């Protein structure tokens, strides 16, 4: 469910006409719905009620300060993957003390920053990392709280670039070596064993891989509790969202019309399947959802620049590009594309929807059918809230897009479009070329 729909023939986010936003702030611009963000969070929390739950929003999906503050206000902690993300949480006025620090390549300065801010735990991915955390904690005279990431060797059946729980991925420690890793951890004087972690992949639309992974790891979790008195089990993130039919999926009627076995994964189904496996462990359960909390809560607005009629192929050239939204180029992802102004009397157009960047990969959709739209009209890329702005680059000296947050009938710019001056601010011509 989300809060994007046509009111009359104009696409709205909550009660705001998106064309108004596009005209005011220009394009490309990301627009997020505060109501959708809140709904996604509360639904997930409710889906797993009855256990001691700590939701750590995986902020790499979308780390805008306004979104961080919104989730913090709702009670969320964060899943952090860099020193920059730790500093973002602080800048948002939120708490690092309930947040976890993940990632395979934590540097010494990052470990120090996390310890100074009393991070809830480090999610450790290797034995050399354990040694490094122990070393930094020793220098600070503290004990570092840790959990080891287990790789359960479960196939998440998702895109190769976002599957993480197979034995050939770089992530985690295989289950059969995990007991030895904990024994090694227990010997370090400045390490405190607190929990256990796993994360099997992203954009999962079926609950079974989650069930398989939790079932596989649960006996080991119980052992760790008995042996080291661990207090929590983090089952990671990965719950998928709807990309096809994204606009329609905002309506309850759409869900009601899907056959039960074809329905995308919901927080309710996820909770119902996992609660019976998690409850008996008697531990705090951490979730690290990223995409599921923000994905359907954002759209990318773009302006049509040209309709180029080619040899048997049409190209709709828009002002958004792969530097703004890289998912189609990087993961062959599908984003639904809709006009901001709907006109059912117009003929359909079949076109490749492309950006202006000098790469054939700068293509959002091939032979996509949509209502005919012309120069100066606006379109929206649906389901752009996760891994959209967060993965933006400045390729082709294009500044990053603006970001806007909507709440009811109000909206505010929460990130200004990047100016040319900021793009080149740190560059200089060396003296020997002058």
Ligand X SMILES: *Cc1c(COP(=O)(O)O)cnc(C)c1O
Interface pick for ligand X out of 28, 237, 384, 388 (rule CB under 6 A): 237
Which one of 13, 56, 358, 363 is the catalytic residue? 358
Q: Is 288 annotated as a binding residue?
A: yes
Q: Is 327 annotated as a binding residue?
A: yes
User: CA–CA separation, 43 vs 37, rounded Å?
Assistant: 10
User: CA–CA separation, 101 vs 115, rounded Å?
Assistant: 10
Interface pick for ligand X out of 28, 238, 328, 385 (rule CB under 6 A): 238
User: CA–CA separation, 53 vs 233, rounded Å?
Assistant: 10
- Residue 210, class by beta-carbon neighbours within 10 Å (0-12 exposed, 13-18 middle, 19+ buried)? buried
* Window 287 to 316, contacts with ligand X (CB under 6 A): 288-292
- Say how many residues touch ligand X, by CB under 6 A: 15
Nearer to ligand X, 126 or 396 (CB): 126
User: CA–CA separation, 124 vs 130, rounded Å?
Assistant: 7
Cα dihedral 386, 391, 395, 398 in deg (nearest 10): 50
Which helix or strand (DSSP H or E) is residue 316 part of? strand 314-318
CB of 205 to ligand X, least distance (A): 11
CB of 85 to ligand X, least distance (A): 12
Return the structure tokens found at 15. Answer: 């009660």
Cα dihedral 279, 237, 130, 187 in deg (nearest 10): 10
Interface pick for ligand X out of 11, 55, 96, 102 (rule CB under 6 A): 102
User: CA–CA separation, 392 vs 399, rounded Å?
Assistant: 9
Q: Which stretch binds ligand X (CB under 6 A): 114-122, 133-141, 236-244, 334-342?
A: 236-244
185 binds ligand X (CB under 6 A): no
* Window 13 to 72, contacts with ligand X (CB under 6 A): 58, 60-61
Q: Is 359 annotated as a binding residue?
A: yes
| Residue 13 known to be catalytic | no
Nearer to ligand X, 33 or 202 (CB): 202
CB of 269 to ligand X, least distance (A): 16
202 binds ligand X (CB under 6 A): yes
Q: Are 290 and 79 in contact (CB under 8 A)?
A: yes
Nearer to ligand X, 33 or 62 (CB): 62
CB of 295 to ligand X, least distance (A): 8
CB of 399 to ligand X, least distance (A): 26
Interface pick for ligand X out of 47, 236, 355, 388 (rule CB under 6 A): 236
398 binds ligand X (CB under 6 A): no
DSSP strand pairing (348-354 vs 77-80): unpaired
Q: Is 183 annotated as a binding residue?
A: no
User: CA–CA separation, 97 vs 246, rounded Å?
Assistant: 36
125 binds ligand X (CB under 6 A): no
Q: How would you list the strands of the sheet with 16-17, edge to edge?
A: 4-7, 10-13, 16-17
Ramachandran angles phi, psi of 126, nearest 5°: -160, 165
The binding site for pyridoxal 5'-phosphate consists of 238, 288-291, 387
Q: Which residues are catalytic?
A: 358
Contact residues for ligand X (CB under 6 A)? 58, 60-61, 79, 102, 199, 202, 236-238, 288-292
């Amino acid at each position: 469910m989300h809060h994007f729909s046509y009111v009359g023939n104009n696409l709205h986010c909550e009660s705001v006409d998106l064309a108004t936003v596009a005209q005011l702030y220009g394009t490309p611009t990301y627009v997020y719905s505060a109501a959708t963000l809140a709904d996604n969070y509360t639904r997930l929390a409710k889906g797993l009620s009855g256990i001691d739950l700590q939701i750590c929003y995986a902020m790499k999906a979308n780390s805008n300060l306004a979104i961080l503050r919104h989730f913090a206000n709702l009670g969320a902690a964060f899943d952090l993957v860099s020193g920059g993300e730790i500093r973002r949480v602080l800048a948002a006025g939120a708490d690092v003390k309930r947040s976890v620090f993940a990632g395979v390549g934590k540097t010494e300065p990052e470990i120090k920053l996390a310890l100074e801010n009393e991070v809830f735990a480090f999610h450790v991915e290797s034995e050399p990392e354990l040694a490094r955390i122990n070393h930094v904690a020793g220098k600070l005279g503290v004990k570092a709280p840790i959990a080891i990431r287990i790789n359960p060797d479960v196939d998440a059946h998702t895109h190769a670039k976002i599957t993480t729980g197979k034995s050939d991925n770089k992530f985690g420690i295989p289950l059969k070596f995990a007991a030895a890793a904990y024994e090694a951890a227990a010997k370090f004087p400045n390490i405190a064993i607190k929990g256990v972690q796993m994360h099997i992949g992203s954009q999962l639309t079926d609950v079974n891989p989650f069930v398989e992974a939790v079932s596989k790891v649960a006996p080991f979790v119980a052992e760790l509790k008995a042996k080291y008195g661990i207090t929590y089990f983090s089952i990671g993130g990965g719950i998928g969202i709807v990309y096809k039919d994204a606009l329609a999926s905002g309506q309850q009627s759409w869900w009601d019309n899907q056959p039960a076995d074809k329905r995308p994964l919901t927080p309710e189904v996820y909770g119902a399947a996992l609660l019976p496996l998690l409850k008996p462990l008697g531990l705090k359960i951490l979730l690290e959802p990223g995409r599921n909390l923000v994905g359907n809560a954002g759209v990318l607005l773009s302006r049509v620049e040209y309709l180029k009629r080619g040899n048997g192929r049409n190209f709709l050239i828009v002002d958004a590009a792969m530097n703004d939204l890289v998912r189609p180029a990087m993961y062959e992802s599908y984003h639904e594309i809709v006009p901001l102004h709907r006109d059912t009397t117009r003929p359909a157009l079949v076109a490749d929807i492309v950006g202006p960047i000098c790469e054939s990969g700068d293509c959002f959709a091939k032979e996509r059918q949509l209502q005919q739209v012309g120069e100066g009209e606006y379109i929206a890329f649906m389901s752009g809230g996760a891994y959209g702005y967060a993965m933006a680059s400045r390729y082709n000296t294009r500044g990053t897009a603006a970001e806007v947050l909507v709440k009811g009938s109000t909206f505010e710019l929460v990130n200004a479009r990047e100016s040319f001056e900021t793009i080149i601010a740190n560059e200089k011509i060396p003296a020997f070329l002058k």
